[in-house]
């Protein structure tokens, strides 16, 4: 089954019961982003990744393994 992220705002998505939010860029010239992943029932991020795609992959793994 394919899931899609719902865009809430610029750099902010909801995906399978999680908020995925781009929280900034880092590095001198690298320009990479940090994406925080927060379950809707939590107030602090559970994890972070460097791409939206990686964040969705991580959520999929959590959900498929039972959370």
What are the residue ranges spanned by the domains of the chain? 6-64
Alpha-carbon torsion, ordered 58, 15, 64, 37, to 10 deg: 40
Between these two residues, 12 and 33, which has the higher pLDDT value?
12
pTM as predicted: 0.84
pLDDT for 62 equals 92
Digit-coded pLDDT (tens) for 19-55: 999 987 665 555 678 999 999 999 999 999 999 999 9
List phi, psi (to 5°) of 52: -65, -40
Pairing of strands 12-15, 6-9: antiparallel
In whole angstroms, give the CA distance from residue 54 to residue 37: 10
In whole angstroms, give the CA distance from residue 61 to residue 51: 16
pLDDT for 52 equals 94
pLDDT for 66 equals 78
pLDDT for 31 equals 62
């Amino acid at each position: 089954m394919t899931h899609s992220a719902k865009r809430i705002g610029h750099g902010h998505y909801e995906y399978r019961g999680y908020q995925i939010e781009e929280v900034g860029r880092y590095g001198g010239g690298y320009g990479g982003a940090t994406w925080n992943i927060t379950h809707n029932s939590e107030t602090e991020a559970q994890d972070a990744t460097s791409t939206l795609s990686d964040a969705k992959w991580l959520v999929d793994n959590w959900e498929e393994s039972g959370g």
